[in-house]
């Protein structure tokens, strides 16, 4: 895998979420959070990683640099939203698919296998 492919994976969120969750697992303040704030923190970190990867791609000449400040905000905001949204979707698929609501609306673990094919 070359650098440009790695930056593409980081900018689109696929690898950004893996890095974001590894960062969160290593920070003591994040492990003390409840699951919902931890999910939002991971989405935010993945968004920042996506923006940085997009900036590196622009610096390497893969994408043209925006001309106006509105284009800069739109481009970087889009990269952050894309990486954060994909992070949220990956979390929902991997973690929340293992849970179900009980009779009294409490969360319970599903019995294996977790996913129906």
Average pLDDT over residues 77-100: 73
User: Sorting pLDDT into bands at 50, 70 and 90, what band is 117?
Assistant: very low
Domain that holds residue 30: 3-109
Q: How far is CA 41 from CA 46, 88, 105, 111, 112, in A?
A: 8, 10, 25, 28, 29
Average pLDDT over residues 49-69: 88
pLDDT over threshold 60, residue 115 = no
Instruction: Evaluate whether residue 54 is within a structural domain.
Output: yes
Instruction: Evaluate whether residue 31 is within a structural domain.
Output: yes
User: Cα–Cα distance between 23 and 25 in angstroms, integer?
Assistant: 5
Instruction: Evaluate whether residue 116 is within a structural domain.
Output: no
Instruction: Evaluate whether residue 115 is within a structural domain.
Output: no
Q: What percentage of the chain carries pLDDT values higher than 90?
A: 3
Q: How many domains does the chain have?
A: 1
95: cis peptide before it, omega within 30°? no
User: Sorting pLDDT into bands at 50, 70 and 90, what band is 63?
Assistant: confident
pTM over 0.85: no
């Amino acid at each position: 895998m070359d650098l440009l492919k790695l930056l593409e994976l980081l900018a689109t969120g696929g690898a950004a979420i893996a890095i974001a969750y590894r960062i969160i697992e290593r920070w003591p303040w994040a492990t003390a959070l409840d699951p919902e704030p931890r999910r939002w923190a991971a989405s935010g970190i993945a968004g920042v990683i996506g923006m940085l990867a997009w900036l590196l791609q622009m610096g390497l000449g893969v994408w043209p640099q925006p001309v106006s400040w509105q284009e800069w905000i739109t481009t970087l905001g889009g990269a952050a939203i894309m990486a954060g949204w994909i992070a949220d979707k990956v979390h929902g698929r991997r973690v929340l698919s293992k849970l179900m609501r009980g009779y009294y609306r409490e969360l319970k673990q599903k019995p294996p296998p977790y996913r129906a094919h």
